[in-house]
């Protein structure tokens, strides 16, 4: 294992984040704070409780997941696409760095940024809505698992994309709608029976449900199933990344 190579990629990506703190950290936190103000304070104070939890507190896990998914994908996809765009990807491919080491560096940095963002949003929420965390260890586990999984997915998007526009297609047109329809602002138990069954085909439901369980002990689906679905998707991403590096797809053309 080439530890210095992993460290070099990781430190380079983290340094880029700290050079662009406004876009990388402050902007997502500010936009999420607006959700807390509108839905948590203004609207939430006029709505009833959901499963014994105030509406403002109920949406906190969903809002964190909304930012976490988008930022994980964005950080990882941009991190690997930039070398492709500038042509420096060939230096990485010709260096004594294995695909695993490259993935650990890029995905590790993207996941670290997303974890920082998620925890910062969690702290920010305290200024707007009171909440509690029943299972803090599981909360960190779900946060880390989601960040690593969707950073890996973002890494695939970065390898696949041919231009900057393609980097935004999947996050904007697929991930964000799935998050809004995945119970970020409501429990799928509030839906009619038919739409409850349809919602179970949305993978984001399992992420939000498991993460919400770590806060309040309530979930729409079994927490073990939530963790298993996330790990299955992570395994699928690892398989795809392995195939891309072995085949040279989008790397050697």
Residue 50 has a pLDDT of 74
pLDDT tens per residue, range 134-171: 999 999 999 999 999 999 999 999 888 887 777 888 88
Residue 22 has a pLDDT of 67
pLDDT tens per residue, range 190-219: 888 888 888 888 888 888 898 999 998 888
| Residue reference for tokens 């925890």 | 119
Residue 235 has a pLDDT of 92
- CA pair distance 43, 38, nearest whole angstrom: 6
Residue 143 has a pLDDT of 92
**Tokens standing for residue 140:** 């960190």
**What is the end-to-end Cα distance of the chain in Å, rounded?**
28
Q: What's the gap between Cα 23 and its chain centre?
A: 16
For the chain, the domains span: 3-247
Low-confidence residues in the chain, pLDDT < 50: none
Residue 42 has a pLDDT of 64
């Amino acid at each position: 294992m080439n530890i210095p190579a992993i460290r070099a990629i990781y430190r380079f990506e983290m340094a880029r984040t700290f050079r662009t703190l406004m876009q990388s950290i402050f902007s997502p936190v500010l936009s999420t704070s607006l959700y807390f103000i509108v839905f948590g304070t203004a609207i939430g104070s006029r709505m009833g409780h959901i499963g014994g939890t105030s509406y403002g507190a109920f949406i906190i896990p969903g809002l964190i997941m909304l930012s976490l998914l988008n930022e994980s994908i964005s950080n990882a996809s941009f991190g690997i696409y930039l070398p492709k765009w500038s042509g420096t990807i060939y230096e990485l491919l010709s260096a004594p760095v294995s695909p695993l080491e490259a993935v650990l560096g890029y995905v590790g940095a993207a996941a670290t940024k997303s974890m920082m963002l998620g925890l910062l949003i969690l702290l920010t929420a305290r200024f707007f809505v009171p909440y509690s965390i029943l299972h803090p260890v599981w909360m960190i586990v779900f946060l880390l698992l989601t960040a690593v999984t969707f950073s890996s997915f973002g890494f695939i998007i970065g390898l696949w994309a041919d231009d900057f526009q393609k980097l935004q297609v999947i996050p904007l047109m697929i991930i964000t709608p799935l998050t809004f329809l995945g119970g970020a602002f409501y429990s799928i138990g509030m839906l009619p029976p038919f739409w409850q069954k349809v919602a179970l085909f949305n993978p984001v439901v399992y992420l939000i449900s498991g993460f919400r369980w770590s806060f309040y002990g309530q979930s729409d689906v079994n927490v073990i199933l939530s963790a298993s679905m996330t790990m299955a998707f992570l395994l699928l991403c690892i398989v795809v990344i392995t195939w891309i590096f072995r085949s040279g797809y989008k790397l050697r053309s």
